[in-house]
Structure 1
């Protein structure tokens, strides 16, 4: 992990204040805090202690709902670490619980020194790196399949998409009326899938999955690779984690022992991922640059076949 050296955004400044306040209440020094990452979450390293605080500064949910989701994540990642899985573990220096600070629920993770982040890879090497890292997900999925804890099905896609579309419906101009009508129809299809996934896709293998592009959420360290950011962990098919990875990456996953991947289910999950990106525009009021970041995905969604369940 490394900071960008750029001036901090207002939300990053706020996140740093929340993280430092919470850390000091837990007995951490936090003399030299620095922001490592600032997009949907802000990651704050409470240096000199080896603790990173994740601050969901853009979250629409209240702190109590955030905390429930975070407890599931901490339980899962703690279990994975106990199994010897390559993950960034919760910090051992504080209780393994979310902590409320300023109306936001925070989580505390062990700091690791990242080497050669994928975002810094040269463009011609980026695809190769991503393909390789998708192959690593096969082993992660093998371990996660044994997770004994409870997880919701395809969360936060459901109910998060419906909540975000309700917000977008009150903000004319972000999406067209036709866009909103299509998104609401597709969300109804996704909700029907969640109610009975095996009926729609009999070959689906629901299990605990990462939930948010695990081949991208990998930290390369001197000791090897570590998966991170399990806040969207959910019960679902492995295809949910592979959506958008591309054919070569999916083939690498299968060669590594993670297959076979259901291509029809994968195509559905890719459409659902695009729908999720459209719904994320609900956060654009609080993060104006997000609209530009998501625009290519919105264009791709408009060109993508509308989601429909296969005939059973």
Structure 2
């Protein structure tokens, strides 16, 4: 890991991503007077004012991500979001004002979405969102596109990320040692669908959101909308509820019963919670790009420390 990015470095990266989004949008024929940053963390989200278009620009990426793999993932996201929209599922679909393709510009890969008014009148309702996630899973069961098994677990990145953390002070040595032991058990199950099926007979993988949909439901003025399918994949539905706790699991199960779906399986939940925790630790290898993630990830690591070792 090189030196940590300074606030000036991050501001420069945000400015470069914004400029790339504006230039790409103009090349596509959009009228743009300014790029207004709406959000930034792992991606920079830019409103291309006055066009009703938002550009999303990933900026903090694992070292295993290539321009080709990122563009492939973005195409899957665009395709899934469009398909869900066409089926009448409440989602934020791709923008209709530009081609439905990621655009490469100045070292960034950019996707375009409709500007959507946000309802800021109340706090996020994660109980409701967890129950709504079952609606999404029911809709995704019929998705006809090809998706890889648990690609959002990023097994190669996790393995190499844990290696990169050796000797660094962003994670305690005993935590890293435990993470390595657990990953020896977990990696085969996320890398091989047949191995997963043998370990969890009767659990059928299906298309899933891949990145905690209860935290990625956008509160629009017209109602809740599913969004951010950047890590869409195939896997057990439990993956989408990883790390959320018993109250939100119970809310999902209510939605599952309403949709005629099975309840969440406790053993699979334990598995996905363990994978998610190790993935969080591995992402600390990207802390040089986003130093704030060290504090941001700490509660997740504390929660993992309190669990039994996965074996």
User: Is the TM value for this pair above 0.5?
Assistant: yes
TM-score, scaled to structure 2: 0.88
By how many angstroms is 1:76 displaced? 1.3
Contact 1:87 1:226 in 2 (8 A): yes
Partner residue of 2:178 out of 155, 162, 182 = 182
Alignment match, 1:239: 238
Partner residue of 1:159 out of 152, 156, 160 = 156
Alignment match, 2:296: 293
Alignment match, 1:221: 220
Unmatched runs of 5 consecutive residues or more in structure 1:
1-6
Counterparts of 1:95-134 in structure 2, within 5 Å, are: 95-116=99-120, 121=123, 129-134=125-130
Structure 2 CA distance for partners of 1:70 and 1:184, relative to 1, 3 Å: same
Contact 2:57 2:111 in 1 (8 A): yes
- In the alignment, the residues of structure 1 paired with residue 38 and residue 203 of structure 2 have an alpha-carbon distance, to the nearest angstrom, of 37
Contact 2:19 2:35 in 1 (8 A): no
- In the alignment, the residues of structure 2 paired with residue 103 and residue 13 of structure 1 have an alpha-carbon distance, to the nearest angstrom, of 13
SS, match of residue 294 in structure 2:
helix
SS, match of residue 32 in structure 2:
coil
Q: Deviations over 1:6-30 (max 9, x none)?
A: x983332222112112111111122
Contact 2:53 2:95 in 1 (8 A): yes
Does residue 1:253 correspond to 2:263, yes or no? no
Partner residue of 1:270 out of 270, 273, 296 = 273
Alignment match, 1:143: 139
Alignment match, 2:34: 32
The more displaced of 72-81 and 255-264 is: 255-264
Structure 2 CA distance for partners of 1:156 and 1:253, relative to 1, 3 Å: closer
Partner residue of 2:18 out of 3, 16, 19 = 16
- In the alignment, the residues of structure 2 paired with residue 242 and residue 143 of structure 1 have an alpha-carbon distance, to the nearest angstrom, of 17
- In the alignment, the residues of structure 1 paired with residue 81 and residue 247 of structure 2 have an alpha-carbon distance, to the nearest angstrom, of 28
TM-score, scaled to structure 1: 0.88
SS, match of residue 213 in structure 2:
coil
CA RMSD of aligned residues (A): 1.9
Does residue 1:197 correspond to 2:180, yes or no? no
By how many angstroms is 1:278 displaced? 0.8
